[in-house]
Structure 1
Amino acid sequence: MSQNNSTLHHMTAGFTAVLVGYTSSVVIILQAATAAGASPEQIESWLLALGLTMGITSIGYSWFYKVPILTAWSTPGAAILVSSATQYDMAALIGAFVVSGLLILMTGLVSPLSRALQRIPTPLATAMLGAILLPFCVRAFEPAMTTPYAFVWMFLTFVVSKRFVPKYSMLLLLVVGCVLAFYIGGEPISSPELSIAQASWVTPKFDWSAILNISLPLYIVTMLSQNLPGVAMMKSYQYETPVKPVLIGTGFANVLSAPFGGFSVNLAAISAAICMNDDVDSDKNKRYRAVIWAGVFYLFAGLLASGVVSIFLAFPKEITHMLAGFALLGTLMMCLQSAFDAPDYREPALLVLVVTLSGVTILGINATLWGLVVGWIYSCALNTAKSS
C-alpha cells in the first residue's frame, strides 16, 4: 500500500469515527447542557472543551504509545445529566464534574483498581462488546423500510466495494453517504456559518448533594460503560492498553476542562473500532495514525463548535445509522468469533451476550455490567465443577 493511500485510509477512518461519535450522541450533549441551564455561550464552551480535550488526549496517547487510543465523551454520563442536572445550579454541576475527574484520576493511581480492568477474560469482554455493537449493525438495515432509495445505494456500495476494493469500502461509503445526506429529502443541506468558539469559565462550587447524585453516578457509568468497553475493544484487536496512564491523563484532563463544561472524557469503544480494523491499514502497527487524524478532526470540531455541530446534526439519522452499522460489521464478526472461539468460555460468553442485549437495569446497575457479572459467575462455577 502506497504512502498516499495509507494516509487517505487513516484520514477517512479518523473522520468517520468522529462523524459517528458526534452524530450518534451530540444531541444528548446539547440536551444535557440545556438541562443544566447553560446559556448559548456556555453550550458553545462545553463543546469547545470536549472537542479540545478529546483531540489532545487522542493525539497525545496515540502518538506516544503508537497504538490507536481514541477518547470520547461519556454519552451515558450525558444521559445522567439530562435527567439530574435540573436540580442544581451551574456552579454545583461544575464542582461535581471536577470531583468525577478526581475519582478517575485516583483510579489510575491506585494499582488494584486499574489492574482489575485488565483481568477480565477476553471472551467475556468481546461478548459484551458484541452485544453493544449488534444494535448498531442491525440499525443499518432499518432504513430499507424508511428510505429504501438511500439504503439500496449504500448497501450496493458496501457489497461492491467489499468485493472489488475492500480497502476503499469505508471511503466509498462515506462519499456516497455524504452525497445522499446532501440531497436527501429533496433539498440540499444549508451551509452553516463557521466561527471560532469562545471558552466560558464557571467557578466550581462543591455541593455534597451534587457530588453524591452527579459525581458518583458519572464516575461509575464512565468507568463501567465507557472505559471498560474501551479497554476490551483494544484487547480484542491485540493492543495493550496503558490503563493507568490513560486513567490518570483523562482524569486530570477532566479536572482541567470541567470549569469550561468538560464533564467527562474517557476511552472510546464503538467509534474506536472504526480506527482499528483491517480496512484502515493492513499493518496494525500503523493504525494509530487514524486516531491521530481523528484527534485533528476533534480539534476542528471543538474550535468550530457551533457550526461544525450543525453540520453533524444535519446528517439524516438513516445515513448515520448506515455509516456506523456497515463500518462496524467487521468488528462485530471479530467480537463474536473471539467470544465463542474458546470452548471453556462459550456458555459464559453466550450469557454475557444475552444479558447485555436484554437491557435490564437492576439496583441502578445497567445490563453491560450485569452481563459481565453473570458470565463471570457462571464461568467460575463451570471451572469449579470441572476441577472437582
Structure 2
Amino acid sequence: MKKLFNLSHLTAGFTAVLVGYTSSVVIIIQAATTAGATPVQIESWLLALGISMGITSAVYSWFYKTPILTAWSTPGAAMLVSSVGQYELNVVIGAFVVTGLLIFLTGLITPLSKMLERIPPQLGTAMLGAILLPICLKGLETVTNTPMIFLLMFAGFLLAKNYIPKYVMLVLLIIGVMCAVVFGNSDLSTVKLSLAEPIWITPDFDISAVLNLSVPLYLITMLSQNLPGVAMMKSYQYNPPVKSLLLGTGITNILFAPFGGFSVNLAAISAAICMTPDVDSDKTQRYRAVLWAGLFYVLAGIFATTVVTIFLSLPQEITEILAGFALLGTLLMCLHTAFKDEVYREPALFTFLITFSGISFLGLSSTLWGLIVGLLYLRINISR
C-alpha cells in the first residue's frame, strides 16, 4: 500500500500530465476548430486523447514494469492547424485512421521502420521548424492589437522561464485568464465542472488528405515523438519494446480516430519527469509514476468539457500567445538540429523554405515537397 501511494510517484505523474496539457492543449483546440469541429466535438477529441493516452501509458508501464509515458503529438497538432482547413471534418478523421494504420504497419514491417530511421533528423526538424514558425510569429503579432496583454504575458514568460521553468505554460495560462477577466474580454461565469461525451464521426477517405495530412502527421509523429521518445528512455537505461509500442499505439490511433484521437505516441520531454532519480532511487519502481499519470490523463479527458469551455472563452489573441510561446522551445530545438551540421545545412535550408512557403504542386503540399527536395539535394551533394 505504501508503494501504491508513494507521494513522489503521484506528484511526478501529475506534473508530467500538467506540463503536457498546459503546454499544448490550446494547439489541439485550435487544430480541432480549424478542422470545423463544434465545441462538443472538440470535447470528444480531448476525451478520446485523454482516455487513449491514459490507457496506453498505464497498460504498457504495468506490463513491462517500465516508465512508458504516451502523449499526443504537439508538433503534429501544429501541422494540422495549418493544413486541415481545406478538408471536411469526416475527411480529416479518415486521415487520422490512415496515420494510425501507417504507425501499425511500421511496427509490423521491420524494413519500413528501418527506412524511416534513415531519414536524417536534420531534414525532419527543418520541416517541423517551418510548420511551427508561423504559429510562433502569430503569437508575437498580437502585440499590435493587444499590447498590454502581450507585455504582461511576455513578462510572465520571462520570469517563469528563469525561476520555475517546468510550469511556464501554467503561469502563462493563469496570466491569460486573469487578463481576459480584467480587460473584460471573456466571460468565465459559464465554466462549470461537467463530463465530456464521445462523439462518433464517420471517417471519409480521400487520397489528397492521405498525402497531405496522413503522411506528414505520420512522419512528424515518428520523427519528433516516437524516435526521440525511444532515445529518451534509452538515456535513462531503459530498453523500450519498440515493436510492441508501434503496434499498440497504431491500433489505438485507429480505434480512437473517429472520436478525434488524432495521435497517440511516445512522450519525450514530459516522459523524463517520470524517469529521473528524484522520482524513485530504485529505477525499477519509477513506472508507478506513469501509472498515476495514466489516471490523471483519464480524469483530464473525462472533464474535457471544462477544459474546452475555459479555452474557448478566452480571446483569440490570448490563445495565439499561449500557442506561440508553447512552441518556442520546440522551434529552437528544430532550428538548432537542422542547421548545426554543415553537410546537412543547405538541404535543410531548402526543406525549411519550401515547407514554409506553403506551395502546392501535383496534389502534394509544401510539407512533403520540402522533405522530398531536401532528400534529393542531400543525395546529390553526397554523391559528388
Q: What TM-score bracket applies, with the shorter chain setting the length? A: 0.7 to 0.9
The change in CA–CA distance for 1:177 and 1:364 in structure 2 (over 3 A counts) is same
2:282 maps to which residue? none
Q: 5 Å matches for 1:185-196?
A: 185-196=184-195
Q: 5 Å matches for 1:331-342?
A: 331-342=330-341
User: Is 297-306 or 193-202 further displaced after alignment?
Assistant: 193-202
Q: Helix, strand or coil: the match of 1:173? A: helix
The change in CA–CA distance for 1:179 and 1:122 in structure 2 (over 3 A counts) is same
Contact 1:118 1:231 survives alignment (8 Å)? no
Taking structure 1 as the reference length, the TM-score comes to: 0.72
Instruction: Work out which of the residue numbers 225, 228, 243 in structure 2 matches 1:230.
Output: 225
1:20 maps to which residue? 26
Query: What percentage of aligned pairs have identical amino acids?
Result: 42
2:140 maps to which residue? 141
1:157 maps to which residue? 156
Residue 378 of structure 1: CA displacement?
A: 0.9
The change in CA–CA distance for 1:106 and 1:227 in structure 2 (over 3 A counts) is same
Q: Helix, strand or coil: the match of 1:185? A: coil
Q: Tell me the distance in 2 between the aligned counterparts of 1:293 and 1:145.
A: 43
Q: 5 Å matches for 1:302-381?
A: 302-381=301-380
User: Is 129-138 or 298-307 further displaced after alignment?
Assistant: 298-307
Q: Tell me the distance in 2 between the aligned counterparts of 1:55 and 1:182.
A: 33
Residue 98 of structure 1: CA displacement?
A: 6.3
Query: Structure 1, residues 123-146: CA drift from partner, whole Å, max 9, x if none?
Result: 222222222222222222111011
Q: Tell me the distance in 2 between the aligned counterparts of 1:315 and 1:321.
A: 10
Q: Tell me the distance in 2 between the aligned counterparts of 1:161 and 1:135.
A: 24
Q: 5 Å matches for 1:96-135?
A: 101-102=100-101, 104-135=103-134
User: Is 292-301 or 349-358 further displaced after alignment?
Assistant: 292-301
Q: Tell me the distance in 1 between the aligned counterparts of 2:131 and 2:95.
A: 28
**Structure 1 gap ranges (5+):** 35-39
Residue 151 of structure 1: CA displacement?
A: 0.5
Give aligned pairs, total: 361
1:53 maps to which residue? 52
Q: Tell me the distance in 2 between the aligned counterparts of 1:44 and 1:282.
A: 30
Contact 1:84 1:214 survives alignment (8 Å)? no
AA in 1 matched with 2:29? T
2:175 maps to which residue? 176
Q: Tell me the distance in 2 between the aligned counterparts of 1:5 and 1:43.
A: 28
Instruction: Work out which of the residue numbers 263, 277, 299 in structure 2 matches 1:265.
Output: 263
The change in CA–CA distance for 1:10 and 1:145 in structure 2 (over 3 A counts) is same
Query: Structure 1, residues 140-182: CA drift from partner, whole Å, max 9, x if none?
Result: 2111011111101011122233345545544432332232234
Contact 1:53 1:265 survives alignment (8 Å)? no
Q: Tell me the distance in 2 between the aligned counterparts of 1:11 and 1:191.
A: 25
Q: Tell me the distance in 2 between the aligned counterparts of 1:274 and 1:353.
A: 24
In the alignment, is residue 220 of structure 1 matched against residue 219 of structure 2? no
Contact 1:129 1:335 survives alignment (8 Å)? yes
The change in CA–CA distance for 1:359 and 1:242 in structure 2 (over 3 A counts) is farther
In the alignment, is residue 83 of structure 1 matched against residue 87 of structure 2? yes
Query: Structure 1, residues 197-217: CA drift from partner, whole Å, max 9, x if none?
Result: 445679x89xxxx55559855
Q: Tell me the distance in 2 between the aligned counterparts of 1:96 and 1:187.
A: 34
Query: Structure 1, residues 321-370: CA drift from partner, whole Å, max 9, x if none?
Result: 22232233233222222222111111111111111111112222222221
Q: Tell me the distance in 2 between the aligned counterparts of 1:15 and 1:45.
A: 16
The change in CA–CA distance for 1:302 and 1:160 in structure 2 (over 3 A counts) is closer
Q: Tell me the distance in 1 between the aligned counterparts of 2:173 and 2:51.
A: 24
AA in 1 matched with 2:71? L
Q: Tell me the distance in 2 between the aligned counterparts of 1:304 and 1:361.
A: 39
AA in 2 matched with 1:71? W
The change in CA–CA distance for 1:288 and 1:44 in structure 2 (over 3 A counts) is same
Q: Helix, strand or coil: the match of 1:158? A: helix
Contact 1:189 1:314 survives alignment (8 Å)? yes
Contact 1:13 1:274 survives alignment (8 Å)? no
The change in CA–CA distance for 1:292 and 1:359 in structure 2 (over 3 A counts) is farther
Note the aligned Cα RMSD (angstroms).
4.4
Contact 1:125 1:372 survives alignment (8 Å)? yes
Q: Tell me the distance in 2 between the aligned counterparts of 1:99 and 1:230.
A: 18
AA in 2 matched with 1:380? R
Q: Helix, strand or coil: the match of 1:140? A: helix
Query: Structure 1, residues 12-55: CA drift from partner, whole Å, max 9, x if none?
Result: 412313523433223245x2579xxxxx7x88656543442243
Q: Helix, strand or coil: the match of 2:364? A: coil
Q: Tell me the distance in 2 between the aligned counterparts of 1:176 and 1:374.
A: 43
Q: Helix, strand or coil: the match of 2:105? A: helix
1:37 maps to which residue? none
